[in-house]
Amino acid sequence: EAAVTQSPRNKVAVTGGKVTLSCNQTNNHNNMYWYRQDTGHGLRLIHYSYGAGSTEKGDIPDGYKASRPSQENFSLILELATPSQTSVYFCASGDGANSDYTFGSGTRLLVI
């Protein structure tokens, strides 16, 4: 079954440390996305990718980097984690209009 899998499910990081969130999709979709969602708020787009080797800035890219080494994998990197980056992060994959976009189950990140 096609799916989007995120790892880890939960992460505790220290301020100033490096954090890497991973996402793997078996949908063979070209497009992949990283969002964050804070309590009581909607999803906000951080970075996205059109395919292997490409990354694009979303609406709130500051403090985050992204990497798309292959069609299947899309990583979100926090080089210097800060407490303000404590959030739930969702990855998604899709293939343009007229295809369904699939979301992962989320990674809960706590930066202390």
Partner 1 sequence: DAKTTQPDSMESTEGETVHLPCSHATISGNEYIYWYRQVPLQGPEYVTHGLQQNTTNSMAFLAIASDRKSSTLILTHVSLRDAAVYHCILLANYGNEKITFGAGTKLTIKP
**CB 44 to partner 1: min, Å:** 8
Nearer to partner 1, 26 or 82 (CB): 26
Q: Is 87 in the site for partner 1 (CB under 8 A)?
A: no
Among 104, 109, 110, 112, binds partner 1 (CB under 8 A): 104
Q: Which amino acid is at 3?
A: A
Residues whose CB falls within 8 Å of the CB of residue 42, separated by 6 or more in sequence, listed in order: none
Among 8, 16, 63, 96, binds partner 1 (CB under 8 A): 96
Please give the C-alpha separations between residue 28 and each of 65, 68, 80, 97, in angstroms, as whole numbers.
Answer: 23, 13, 31, 15
- Separation between Cα atoms, residue 42 and residue 19, nearest integer Å: 23
Q: Which residues bind partner 1 (CB under 8 A)?
A: 4, 30-31, 33, 35, 42-45, 48, 50, 56, 58-59, 88, 90, 92, 94-98, 100-106
